[in-house]
Amino acid sequence: MIMYVKKKMANIIRQVSSNIIQEKLNISFNYHSLRHTHATTLIENGAPVKTVQKRLRHSRAAVTEDRYVHLTEKMARDAANIFDSFAQDI
């Protein structure tokens, strides 16, 4: 019973704080989106996929890559720069 009450209170606090964030910042927000941001930021800055997979406790790296890591402008720019460097060496 106590665990249920603790979980219920945590869910209420999470929901209320999400609503406050959405209202004050005028953005769509939920705490689960922080997992996506966390994974994307780590990969964007060079962390190995396996490391991110373990941090998020995913059973497979494909879940991390396919569902949690999102392409950013920095990633696209870095990829273009890698190709440009390669092309200049030809």
pLDDT tens digits, one per residue of 14-45? 888 878 887 887 877 777 888 999 999 999 99
Residue 6 vs residues 11, 16, 20, 54: alpha-carbon distances, Å: 9, 15, 21, 27
Report the percent of the chain where pLDDT is more than 70: 94
Same domain, residue pair 5 and 42? no
Give the total number of structural domains in the chain. Answer: 2
Same domain, residue pair 64 and 43? yes
Same domain, residue pair 47 and 79? yes
Q: For residue 38, give its domain range.
A: 32-90
Same domain, residue pair 68 and 86? yes
Count of C-beta atoms within a 10 Å radius of residue 39: 23
Q: What is the pTM of this model?
A: 0.69
Residue 43: exposure state from Cβ atoms within 10 A (0-12, 13-18, ≥19) = buried
Please give the angle made by the CA atoms of 16, 20 and 25, to the nearest 5 degrees.
150
Chain-centroid distance of CA 72 in Å reads 11
